[in-house]
Chains A and B, each alone.
Chain A
Amino acid sequence: MAAELHVEMVAADRSVWSGKATLVIARTTSGDIGVMPGHQPLLGVLESGPVTIRTSEGGTVVAAVHGGFISFSDDKLSVLAEIAELSDEIDVKRAERALERAKAEADAAAERRADVRLRAVAGAH
């Protein structure tokens, strides 16, 4: 496929991933959205959740994103998030521990964060 879009995923304090992709799937507050090249300019609010990027080389990159925005125009897509982690950066054991602890302490926000991380890892494999 010739058409591709350029993706920049940036967190508040670093650039997480950038490259060419054919499809990006993210979860906005009003539901999952898939963006392909040639999509209409878009600016959306993201929910905590995994963002899946299908790269031009046929690979898949999954990142856990905790809130943020997706913006797309002229085949350039940017994912802005305060915290964003690629699935292979996530420490599964730590996330599992965090999930258990969050459940024990009934900390909904922490539970959701840990859950998003684990889902991002699960989505990558």
Chain B
Amino acid sequence: MGAQLRVYKRRIKSISATKKITKAMEMIAASRVVRAQRQVAASTPYASELTRAVGAVATGSTTQHPLTTEAENPTRAALLLITSDRGLAGGYSANVIKAAEQATKALTAQGKEVDTYIVGRKGVAYYGFREFKVTESWTGFTDNPTYADAKKIAGPLIEAVQKDTAEGGVDELHIVYTEFVSMLTQTPVEHRLLPLSMEKTAEETAAKDVIAPLYEFEPSAEEVLDALLPRYVESRIYNALLQAAASKHAATRRAMKSATDNAEELIKSLTRLANAARQADITQEISEIVGGASALADASAGSD
């Protein structure tokens, strides 16, 4: 076997092995997307009921609450960035980080200091490498987030919002994550979570059922709101985590699919080259034999 041919064969073998891996990863990601989507769907009833309840308090009372009142002159904002722990997902992490940087820039332009909170090793690594300040970060659960994880994240954030700005608290809470639109489309989005704009929630409720009923609050509107709002933030963060997980798996699936396709393409062209090299080897061998034979024939003819 010719040296050239051997090199081609070796490359084809190594690419086939890589292709097997990417194909497997693609299929795993595809099944995980389905599971993540199911989780998003399962968490929806809770989130929508909670939104309805918050809307009910908003319309049914004139309660002022630290989590809902806008600071007159907001100077600090917290930004929660949700990335993933693992790569191999195409532009997934890069896109959401870019969105977070844009949001940070916009907030800074409005004269607000930004505290960054990060979920996922990718975001932590990015901010760590650039030595950007990170207030708090969480890693290790982005592939399969649970409600307890969302609670863990929401705790310090709510605390920061409730604290006075002068003592290191924040006036606003923004969240940047990747919204799962469909298997093919995932878009990074930025939302303001707090202060909750009561008008908006009330409008959403009003749009659905024309007359919002007058609720009786047990024990009181303030206490209901006290208990309701943290849960609301938690469920929003939980929803964002789930969507980010679904998006990440979808992005992985797509990235691995194109990797598999590329490997196939490479194998095809390398096989062609290997075939040509084999043909060239054979042709050379034949011409060598023919040349050798005719040289022998010439020699024996000359000796006669």
Contacts and interface: CB of A to CB of B under 8 A. Distances in A.
Given A13-B42, A15-B45, A80-B49, A41 B219 contact: no
B213 A74 contact: yes
Interface in A57-87: 68-71, 73-74, 78, 80, 82
A82 B45 contact: no
Interface stretch (A28-36, A48-56, A89-97, A115-123): A28-36
B184 interface: no
A12 B235 contact: yes
A14 interface: yes
B43 A73 contact: no
A71 B217 contact: no
Interface in B144-165: 146-147, 151
Contacts of B218: 28-30, 33, 42-45, 70
A43 B216 contact: yes
Contacts of B215: 41-43, 71, 73
Contact of A14 (B42, B50, B213): B42
B46 A10 contact: yes
Contacts of B53: 43, 69, 71, 78, 80
A23 interface: no
Interface residues of B, number: 30
B42 A45 contact: no
B118 interface: no
A69 B214 CA distance: 17
A30 B7 CA distance: 80
Contacts of B45: 8, 10, 15
B238 interface: yes
A98 interface: no
- Which of B146, B151, B215 has the most C-beta atoms of chain A within 10 angstroms of its own C-beta? B215
Nearest to B52: A71
Given A10-B45, A12-B147, A13-B43, A45 B223 contact: yes
A10 B231 CA distance: 13
A43 B235 CA distance: 18
B224 A45 contact: yes
B277 interface: no
The SS class assigned to the B binding surface is helix
Contacts of A11: 46
Interface string B36-63: 0001001101100110110011001000
Contacts of B42: 13-15
A12 B224 contact: no
B50 A80 contact: yes
Interface in B198-245: 213-219, 223-224, 227-228, 231, 234-235, 238
Contact of A43 (B57, B146, B234, B238): B57
Contacts of B39: 13
- Which of A8, A29, A80 has the most C-beta atoms of chain B within 10 angstroms of its own C-beta? A80
- Which of B45, B214, B234, B235 has the most C-beta atoms of chain A within 10 angstroms of its own C-beta? B45
Given A41-B213, A69-B227, A12 B238 contact: yes
B282 to A, nearest CB: 65
Interface string B75-93: 0000000000000000000
Interface of A: 8, 10-15, 28-30, 33, 40-45, 68-71, 73-74, 78, 80, 82
Interface of B: 39, 42-43, 45-46, 49-50, 52-53, 56-57, 60, 146-147, 151, 213-219, 223-224, 227-228, 231, 234-235, 238
7 contacts: A12-B234, A13-B43, A13-B147, A14-B43, A45-B223, A45-B224, A69-B227
Given A13-B43, A74-B213, A80-B46, 5 more contacts: A30-B219, A33-B218, A41-B216, A69-B50, A69-B224
